[in-house]
Homo-oligomer: A and B are copies of this chain.
Amino acid sequence: MGAGVIYQRVALIGLGLIAGSMGLRMKRDGLAGEVVGTARTARTREMAVGLGLCDRVTETAAEAVAGADLVVLCVPVGAMAAVAREIAPHLAPGATVSDVGSVKRAVIAAVGPHLPAGVHFVPAHPVAGTEHSGPESGFPTLFDNRWCLLTPDGAAAEAVDRLARLWRAMGSNVDQMEPDHHDLVLAVTSHAPHLIAYTMVGVADDLRRVTDSEVIKYSAAGFRDFTRIAASDPVMWRDVFLSNKDATLEILGRFTEELFALQRAIRTGDGDMLHDYFTRTRAIRRGIIEAGQDTDAPNFGRAPGPVTE
């Protein structure tokens, strides 16, 4: 598609799955004059260079942002404030600061106050990822056909458009959203489902009468889908829940209410209620497949596992 160079120098602060995938895509398609990265540990920095996801790494975030026209904070949400404080004095005038956090109101509150005048702040959330983490898990097509949500909160239109152009060039569809609305929508589509999956896997792990080995052997029955979600990065998810507390607790409250109604239907033998409920939920799956957001292949098109006997 030949989008060309969109930013002269992009600084990636934090080098995990998302930054890794951004770096690989920007380098593959020549979207940035230079990609500079930084991470807390020397091991991650070396790995990032080895994987070719940035041109150069620096030991500190302050060094990384020097002369960058785009700075992307790719650290867990709970670390954003400290990073913003550190980089603020070193930002180039006119630079855009963005992030990839899964919550937006808390990031705006943590980062916004530290940024100097003349810097554009355009928070972003690429709704994409896998259960794997670390720069070695990145791949350049991670964002293809996924949505990237911008919550610009008053940033200059030109800066917003330029960032949107980068995300489109990296394969995403782009939408704008109000931060609180973003946090509520994501509480439904992501945060509550993750907490529920973590909980169910935790329950299985706890049950002494059902040995680990049985839970694992017979996991094909639905549970294994939950374990995938519950294998996501613990630090990232701790921070998501702590920083999107209200919306997550609201959705979990609705969930519990509904779960109790279904439990009551099971207890009283109300088969019609259960059947109606289960019929209604089928429709939403069809919508997701029609929208190109998931595969219609059975079991997600998983290949059958190797036969062990």
Contacts and interface: CB of A to CB of B under 8 A. Distances in A.
Interface of A: 78, 102, 127-132, 137, 139, 141, 144-147, 149, 168, 171, 173, 175, 184-186, 188-190, 192-207, 209-210, 212, 214-232, 234-235, 237-239, 241-242, 245, 248-249, 251-252, 254-256, 258-259, 262-263, 266-267, 269, 271, 274-275, 277-288, 291-295, 298-309
Nearest to A295: B302
A281 B201 contact: yes
Contact of A145 (B219, B231, B307): B307
A228 B285 contact: yes
Given A288-B216, A308-B145, A210 B225 contact: no
Contacts of A282: 230-231, 234
A262 B198 contact: yes
A305 B295 CA distance: 7
A62 B228 CA distance: 45
Given A145-B306, A207-B254, A287-B212, A202 B301 contact: no
Pairs of residues from A and B, 9 with the lowest C-beta to C-beta distance, nearest first? A190-B221, A130-B298, A234-B278, A231-B285, A300-B300, A189-B223, A230-B281, A193-B222, A201-B281
A307 B269 CA distance: 45
Contacts of A224: 288, 293-294
B221 A186 contact: yes
A266 B247 CA distance: 11
Contacts of A229: 222, 225
Contacts of A215: 185, 188-189, 284
A242 to B, nearest CB: 6
A304 B145 contact: yes
A131 B301 CA distance: 11
Nearest to A298: B130
